[in-house]
Structures are given as structure tokens and as C-alpha cells.
């Protein structure tokens, strides 16, 4: 029982931001016919307004809302691309916020993209190293080889955690330095701005859940290696 309580607290800390964000998205995801346009229409309007040349809006193939700086695409899930809801409008403004960061040469965004490429390789390499660790140690019969492999594996897995942590200020900037000031210009009624702030907070904190989950995964591997 003494072990179960700390474990539950850890799991709550890891998954609470993700569950809260989903609840906020659902809460303000109802269709609002009084809104002047869909999330996709707002995104296209903002791209034209700020003259973001080469940037286009399209449906996210996997349902994950994001801005792709390589393809220069604002990708929105179907319910936000075609939906008229506070969530759709706020998420669309948030993703266009990333396009504005890109156009302005926002350095943290550039650093994140570099780390993302490293993390993709690191995650795959780390998982392979961890799986091969017992076999390599058995073949070489050298504890030092196992230690080196373990450190390399943990370092590779740690790059994913680093990416998510670096992402947090980038997401916060997209929500509150880019998207919110735009929405305050009359795109939403003043009475709806409080709800929009909650959606933008949820959008910014989406990666917090991922970073905490990554830390939990890293801790799990460390615990296995200590046995």
C-alpha cells in the first residue's frame, strides 16, 4: 500500500495534463453556428493576412494538429479543419502561430526542429540498444561493454525527453504571444476569450504530458538496469 500511493501520484502527475487538455478540447468542441468560419477558414485567412508565402492548410493525415516547417503546412484534424467551435478556432490560431514563428525566424523553433530530427534517430537507436544489451553483454562477457551500451541507450532515449522540454516554451509562445493577441483583435467576442485562453493553454501543455511520459519511460529503463 505504501508503494502504491507514490506510484499513483506519479501516474497522476504524468497523465493529468493530457487528460485535462482532452477534457478542455471536448468541453469547447461543440459546434457554434454563430462563429464566422471554421478553423480551416480562419487559418487560411490568417495566412493570407500575414502574407505567409508558401504556407497552406490541409487535413492532418493522422489526426494530429501541427505545423510542418519543412513542407510549410498547417495541418488540422478533420473536426478542427471543418468545424465551427471554440476549440477549432483556437487550435487553428495556435498552429498558425507556429507558422508566424517560422516566418519570423524564431530561434527556439529552429532548435526544436534540429532536436526532433536527432530524437527520431535517438529513440530508434536507444530502443535497439536496450534490446540488444543482454545479448551483447553475454557475448562479450565484459561488464564495461554492458555499461557503455546502457549509457548509450539511456542517452538516446533521453533525447526525446529533451525535445519535449524544449518544445514547451515554443508552444507557449505560439499560444500566448501569437494566437491570443490575434483572437483578441475581434475574431472572437470578448465573452469567449476566457474559454479561448483555456484551449490555448491546453494546446501549449499537450507536450508537457509527452515530456512527463518520456521521463517515466526513462526512469523505467533505469530501474530495470539497476536490478
Report the C-alpha gap between 147 and 124 in whole angstroms: 19
The model's confidence at residue 205, banded by pLDDT at 50, 70 and 90, is confident
Q: Is the pLDDT of residue 96 over 90?
A: yes
Q: Which three cell numbers stand for residue 146?
A: 554492458
Could you give the percent of the chain with pLDDT greater than 90? Answer: 48
Choice between 127 and 65, residue whose per-residue pLDDT is larger: 65
- Bridge partner residues of 66 (DSSP): 75
Q: Is the pLDDT of residue 221 over 70?
A: no
Mean pLDDT over 30-52 rounds to 95
Condensed to tens digits (0 to 9), the pLDDT of residues 158-183 reads: 666 677 677 788 999 999 999 999 99
Q: Is the pLDDT of residue 2 over 50?
A: no
DSSP strand pairing (66-68 vs 73-76): antiparallel
Amino acid at each position: 500500500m505504501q508503494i502504491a500511493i507514490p506510484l499513483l501520484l506519479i501516474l497522476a502527475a504524468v497523465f493529468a495534463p493530457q487528460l485535462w487538455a482532452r477534457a478542455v478540447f471536448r468541453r469547447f468542441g461543440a459546434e457554434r453556428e454563430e462563429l464566422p468560419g471554421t478553423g480551416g477558414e480562419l487559418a487560411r485567412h490568417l495566412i493570407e493576412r500575414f502574407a505567409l508565402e508558401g504556407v497552406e492548410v490541409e487535413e492532418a493525415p493522422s489526426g494530429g494538429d501541427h505545423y510542418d516547417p519543412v513542407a510549410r503546412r498547417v495541418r488540422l484534424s478533420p473536426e478542427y479543419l471543418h468545424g465551427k467551435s471554440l476549440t477549432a478556432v483556437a487550435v487553428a490560431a495556435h498552429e498558425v502561430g507556429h507558422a508566424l514563428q517560422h516566418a519570423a525566424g524564431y530561434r527556439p523553433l529552429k532548435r526544436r526542429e534540429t532536436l526532433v530530427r536527432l530524437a527520431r534517430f535517438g529513440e530508434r537507436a536507444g530502443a535497439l540498444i536496450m534490446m540488444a544489451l543482454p545479448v551483447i553483454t553475454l557475448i562479450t562477457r565484459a561488464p564495461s561493454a554492458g555499461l557503455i551500451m546502457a549509457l548509450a541507450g539511456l542517452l538516446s532515449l533521453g533525447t526525446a525527453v529533451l525535445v519535449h522540454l524544449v518544445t514547451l516554451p515554443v508552444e507557449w509562445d505560439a499560444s500566448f504571444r501569437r494566437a491570443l493577441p490575434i483572437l483578441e483583435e475581434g475574431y472572437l467576442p470578448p465573452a469567449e476569450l476566457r474559454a479561448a485562453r483555456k484551449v490555448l493553454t491546453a494546446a501549449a501543455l499537450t507536450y508537457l504530458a509527452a515530456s512527463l511520459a518520456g521521463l517515466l519511460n526513462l526512469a523505467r529503463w533505469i530501474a530495470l538496469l539497476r536490478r
